[in-house]
Amino acid sequence: MPLALLALAIGAFGLGTTEFIPTGLLPQIATDFQISIPTAGLLVTVYALGVVFGSPLMTALGTKMSRKRILLLLMALFVLGNLLSALAPNFGLMLAGRIVTSLAHGAYFGIGVVLATELVAPEKKANAIAITLTGLTVANVAGVPLGTYIGQAAGWRVTFTLVAALGVIALLALAKFVPAMPRPEGAHLRHEIAALRNPQVPLAMAITVLGFGGVFAAITYIAPMMTWVAGFSEGSLTWLLILLGIGMVIGNLASGRLADRALMPMLYVALGGLAVVLALFTFTAHNKILAAITIMLVGAFGFATVPPLNKRVLDQAHGAPTLASALNVGAFNLGNALSAWLGGLVISAGFGYTAPNWVGALMAAAALGLALWSTALERRGRRTAVTTDPGPAPSQLTTR
């Protein structure tokens, strides 16, 4: 695997860290700006919305330049946004910094994933995607817990400054190791939009929304679930989240290798396993040991969906995959927001803090159903194409 994948992974690590780092620092940020915790929580909400709406915008701009140049520009935005957040004298400017950073997120992953597949042989594309996204999974193992610890010890502004410095390292790595590949021929916005007309592309994105959304139905409410249901202390949440992150890394890398051999079967296994594990989590959440094991399995099966989901979109949008890839990143974030909202609804309805697990299980099961339907439609289309093929003209037949 080329070193360019390592450079892409470093950038992914920074983006994964900055996306979730405010969750552990909300009390300190709220105190400094003299605002409520829910108001400080807008730092997470605004970032997610920025990813959803910024992905197509930045990707459209990126069609006018080489992929290396747009990646460097996006990482520069990442550095600028985190510095603005670190130095913000008021909450409004910090929100602005989060928006600037979020503009880089979706397009970086969308373009980075496409670039990663172009740097390797066809039979290694899913694995290349997994290696690139390893930075995102490792961020949940190391970046977010370490950033939270530093923020609590030295102040949240120090954390955001260090994340900006990480962006500088990623910028230098991209400049050094990513080859200066020319802009693909025919890479125009109208071609990228035309690729979305294939019904398999939006169908794949719907699978992303439901499948990966199922993960966040449980993860969003993991703190009250583990402390008030399983009986863990608040101090135990750090190592529980590390277990979750370890599961993410294992699932992502294993799936990347297996998806290159059998893409859709790997997706079926990941979605089916996720649905079962989330359903079981409703019961295992009442036992500390079983809960810890289940958390790791949620991370493993959850991120095992990521390489095949990304490659499915790229395969169906072949010829113009960049916009579709970026929109799929937005679909991941849309699924996160939807599942968190639905999980909150069932808790508010009085079904308890384990109820979001059932929401996630149903979402994953629905995603599996869509994946099976997608394959059936694809096979039907192939049979129809074969049936309607008139074959060679009589003049093309040879006779003895």
CA 91 to CA 37: how far, in whole Å? Answer: 12
Is pLDDT above 80 for 59? no
Among 367, 139, 208, which Cα is nearest to 273's?
A: 367
- The residue ranges of every structural domain in the chain are 1-183, 188-382
Task: Name the strand (E) or helix (H) holding 331.
Answer: helix 322-348
Q: How confident is the model at residue 61 (pLDDT cuts 50, 70, 90)?
A: confident
Phi/psi class of residue 381: alpha, beta or left (left: φ > 0; alpha: ψ in -120 to 50)? alpha
1-183 matches 188-382 in fold: yes
Full-model pTM: 0.78
What is each CA distance from 392 to 251, 326, 385, 399, in whole angstroms? 47, 41, 15, 13
Q: What is the share, in percent, of the chain residues with pLDDT greater than 90? A: 41
Question: Residue 394's pLDDT is what?
Answer: 52
Residue 392 is predicted with a pLDDT of 56
- CA torsion angle 232 286 365 210 (round to 10): -30
- pLDDT mean over 103-128: 86
Residues 155-202 pLDDT 10s = 999 999 999 999 999 999 999 999 887 665 555 667 667 767 788 999
Mean pLDDT, residues 102-122 = 87
What homologous superfamily does CATH list for 1-183?
Answer: MFS general substrate transporter like domains (1.20.1250.20)
Per-residue pLDDT, averaged over 230-241, amounts to 83
Higher pLDDT, 166 or 345: 166
Q: How far is CA 93 from the centre of its chain?
A: 26
pLDDT score of 235 more than 80: no
Average pLDDT over residues 299-309: 93
CA–CA gap between residue 121 and residue 129 (Å, rounded): 12
- pLDDT tens across 348-397, in order? 888 988 999 999 999 999 999 999 999 999 888 777 766 665 555 554 54
The pair of structure tokens assigned to 146 is: 């370490």
For domain 188-382, give the fold: Growth Hormone; Chain: A; (1.20.1250)
Over the stretch 259-289, which tens digit does the pLDDT of each residue have?
A: 988 999 999 999 999 999 999 999 999 999 9
Strands, DSSP E only, in the chain?
A: none
Q: What is the DSSP string of 357-399?
A: HHHHHHHHHHHHHHHHHHHHHHHHHHHHHHHH---S-GGG---
Most confidently predicted of 24-28, 63-67, 303-307: 303-307
